[in-house]
Each structure stands twice: as structure tokens, then as C-alpha cells.
Amino acid sequence: EATVSNQTIVHYHPDMLDHRQQRLTMEAQLRKAIANYELRLYFQPQMDIATGKIIGAEALLRWQHGENMVSPVEFIPVAEQSGLIIEIGEWIIEQACRVAKNLLDAGQAIPIAINISARQFQHPELYQQIERALQRHQLPAELIELEITESVAMHQQDEVLAVLNRFKALGVGLSIDDFGTGYSSLAYLRQFPVNKLKIDRSFIVEMLEQSEDEALVNTIIGISHHLQMKVVAEGVETEPQLARLKEMGCDTLQGYLYSRPLPESDFNQFVKATTAS
Ligand code: C2E
Ligand code: CA
Ligand code: CA
Ligand code: CA
């Protein structure tokens, strides 16, 4: 019962130890997952609201762990904290470029959007990773898009602006993800060389029941267009949502109404089926 051991107990509170232990266990398993090729990239189609045709896709990471599919919501934070996200991110960039190039060779120019986490975005090698992957695959830069969240975009705005301008010069597309969930400075947003805003699913879910949500969706669509950006609604699941978003002038839809995220071969099939005339 010495003070020191009391302090130790306080510092390593059972819950914390548990939590820390869990994180370390998952980190070790994630390292194995990389070595054993248990990570998969899925692709969710993005549809042009006017034509109903596919105009892009978002790459979403999956971890097939034994029988279970571990959600990225659980392991991305662990990958972030441990730094494994840099290695995983490079693999994602490689896969996305490969898939976009295969589609291009088959006659379909479909941009693939990649989620870039905070730590990846701050990493000095991200730019080179992307530049090299584009070169290796002889892929036009416009066929890769980067999604950064609103919170990453609004943190250290001057540094972010400099990085975004480099990517813009390279020619890749840039989107702000989860728009509406953080605090965006509209003054900064105006300066960002961003092509797209993605409206977070949380606003779409009850849009037709909650007039406040609908008003926000409408406002975000207006802001996007005033800033000459395209706007994507995420998590669209029903025809009535589609109809309302169309009335409001939204450009692009992504959601279970059209398709869940698909493994590569199913995604290629989806593209073939929806682009055949
Ligand atoms: P996010 O970037 O906002 O991705 C959209 C999420 O919404 C995806 O969840 C997608 O499956 C889901 N979604 C799309 N349409 C619908 C719908 O109609 N209904 C419902 N209920 N959900 C829909 P997912 O794949 O579980 O990913 C969750 C989050 O994990 C992503 O949110 C993103 O923040 C992160 N994440 C996923 N893949 C990656 C990755 O490759 N890199 C990084 N850094 N983060 C990733
Ligand atoms: Ca995203
Ligand atoms: Ca999102
Ligand atoms: Ca989201």
C-alpha cells in the first residue's frame, strides 16, 4: 500500500489496462493480417443522379479475420495510432490504381476515391506514394480521388492548403468527407482546391422525417454549388430520399439503394452491367 503502488494502480486503472491490452492485441493481429493478406479493398459505386449511371466509386477497407469481417471503424484507429496506416495506405493506393487501370483498359474511366486518414495526410511520403503508383500503372491522375475528412481539412489550415495544392497540381481529385459533422470555416473552404463535398450519412438517414436535417442537406448542396464544387450524398437507402435529393439538385449518390460496397470482381461486374447500353 505504498504511495508508489497506489499511483501505479491509479495510472493503470483496470479498464485502461484492458483497453490498452486490447489495442495491443489488435495491433499484433493487424500486423499478421497484413502479412497474411487478410485485408481486402471493396468498392462502392457512386451514381450520377441525372443519368443514373456510375460515375465513380469509393474504396473501403475490409479485414477478413477468420470467420469474422472486422469493421474499419474498429481497426482504422488502431492502424492510425500504431503507424501501420502508412503501410496499409500504400497498399490501398496500389490496389485502387490497379483497379482503376483495369477498368480504363476495358474502356471505362471510373475515378476511384481513397480515404486518407489524418496521420497519412500528414505523412511526408503520401505525395510520392501516390505519384509513383500513378506512374507505375500509367494511370491518369484524374482517376484517383482523395477523401479527407472535414476535421483533417480544418486542422492547421495553412499546411493543409499547401498539401492540397500539390495534389491539385498533380491532377488528383479532392473531396471533403463527412461534411457537416465538424466545424468548417467557410472562408478556408473557399480557398481549398477541393472538387467535392460529401454530405455525411447522418444527415441523410432521417432527412425526410427531420426538417432540420433536410434544411442542412439543402444548405450543403447550395454551398457546394456556390463554390463550384460537386456534392455527393452518402448513405442513400430509399427511393423517396433519391427523389428529394434530385429535387434539391444534388449531383451524386452513394448508398445501399444502388449498391453496397462490393469485392473487386462483383464491382467490375456492376460496372459492366450498368454501363452496357
Ligand atoms: P466513410 O468514409 O464515411 O465511408 C462511408 C461508410 O458508409 C462506409 O462504411 C459505407 O459502407 C457506409 N455506407 C455507404 N452507404 C451506406 C448506406 O446506404 N447505409 C449504411 N448504413 N451505410 C452505408 P464502412 O465501409 O464500414 O467504413 C466506415 C469508415 O471507416 C469510413 O467512413 C472511413 O472513415 C473508414 N474507412 C473505411 N475504409 C477506409 C480506408 O481505406 N482508409 C481509411 N483511412 N479509412 C477507411
Ligand atoms: Ca469516405
Ligand atoms: Ca463519409
Ligand atoms: Ca461517415
Residue 16: predicted pLDDT: 60
Q: Tell me, what's the ipTM?
A: 0.98
| Ligand 1 proximal residues by C-beta, below 6 Å | 44, 59-61, 71-73, 76, 92, 115, 117, 177-178, 201, 234-237, 254-256, 261
Q: Give the tens place of pLDDT for each residue, 181-240.
A: 887 888 888 889 999 999 999 999 999 999 999 999 999 999 999 999 999 999 999 999
Calculate how far, in angstroms, residue 200's C-alpha sits from the geometric centre of ligand 4: 5
Pocket test residue of 115, 116, 151, 152 for ligand 1, highest count of atoms within 8 A of CB: 115
pLDDT digits (tens, 9 = 90+) for 131-177: 999 999 999 999 999 999 998 888 888 889 999 999 999 999 999 99
| Residue closest by Cα to atom 37 of ligand 1 | 60
- Least Cα distance to 260 among 45, 8, 27, 10 occurs for 45
Q: Whose CA is nearest to atom 12 of ligand 1?
A: 235
| Prediction pTM value | 0.93
Q: What per-residue confidence (pLDDT) applies to 204?
A: 97
Contact 93, 127 (CB under 8 A): no
pLDDT (tens digit per residue) in 78-133: 999 999 999 999 999 999 999 999 999 999 999 999 999 999 999 999 999 999 99
Task: Pick the ligand that lies closest to the CA of residue 232.
Answer: 3
105 by Cβ neighbours in 10 Å (0-12 / 13-18 / 19+) ranks as: exposed
CB environment 73-87: b (16+ within 10 A), e (fewer): eebbebbbebebbbe
CA of 235 to the centre of ligand 1 (A): 9
Q: Is the pLDDT of residue 2 over 50?
A: no
Which pLDDT band, with edges at 50, 70 and 90, does 11 fall under? very low
Locate all alpha helices (DSSP H) within the chain, ordered by sequence.
3-11, 14-35, 72-82, 84-105, 118-122, 126-137, 150-154, 157-170, 186-191, 201-205, 211-226, 239-247, 264-275
The three grid cell numbers given for residue 206, joined into one nine-digit string: 432521417
